[in-house]
Amino acid sequence: MPAIQITQRRSGGIILFKRFKCIMRRLYLSIMSHNVYNKQGRFMSLGSVSSFDSLEFRNALGTFATGVCVVTANPEGYEPFGMTVNSFASVSLDPALVLWSLQNNSECFSVFEKADKFAVNILASDQIDLSNLYAQKNNHVLAPKHFRIGKSGLPVVRGVVTSFECNVWARYPGGDHVILVGEVTEMENNSNKEPLLFNAGQYRELR
């Protein structure tokens, strides 16, 4: 009985320590990006100089047509998980770099914080269901039928147009998001597939 209590106290201490580390990291990111937490624990800008509100900005950004990706990872101690994003962009050919950005207040933040690798999976036009599924709040554990393990040990989504397996190359604070840059170590492309597109808040297809 006492041994169990000690173990419980120790694991409680580890959880507290991890939580403390997470808070300190978010604080660091917020200071670096000129943001602070408000009373609700959400980020707000310290000095906005914009002449428009965030909804107008969001709608304007939505006019830029993008593809849709599910970014996946499986850091030690976590089940393979994924999250839908459209902030993916190419960065550099040599070295081979890509980026995407993650909301600071995402449920996935702490998991990606621990990941030293991630895979970017570019969804095909017949994968709207997958996009919606992994965009749901608190629903990021990958169903076994949706992925296989890629060459670098990362979960790779089945049926995608292209997958990039990456080592985390850098993390940069970016306002209410963190920018993750990955160095591509493996990639696979299925040229028979057409990509899923996203524009003005709606899914689209190539015409």
Ligand X SMILES: Cc1cc2nc3c(=O)[nH]c(=O)nc-3n(C[C@H](O)[C@H](O)[C@H](O)COP(=O)(O)O)c2cc1C
Whether 3 contacts 136, CB under 8 Å: no
HSE, side-chain direction, 13 A CA sphere, residue 78: 21
Q: Is 58 or 151 the residue whose CB approaches ligand X more closely?
A: 58
102 lies in the site for ligand X, by CB under 6 A: yes
State the Cα–Cα distance between residues 93 and 91, nearest whole angstrom: 7
Minimum CB separation of residue 98 from ligand X in Å reads 13
Amino acid 133 reads L
Minimum CB separation of residue 136 from ligand X in Å reads 7
- Per-residue x/- mask for ligand X, residues 56 to 95, rule CB under 6 A? ------------x--------------xxxxx--------
User: In the 3-class helix/strand/coil scheme, how is 160-203 assigned residue by residue?
Assistant: CCEEEEEEEEEEEEECCEEEEEEEEEEEEECCCCCEEEEECCEE
Minimum CB separation of residue 30 from ligand X in Å reads 16
Q: Which of residues 120-159 bind ligand X (CB under 6 A)?
A: 131, 135, 137-138
Interface residue list for ligand X (CB under 6 A)? 68, 83-87, 100-103, 106-108, 131, 135, 137-138, 198
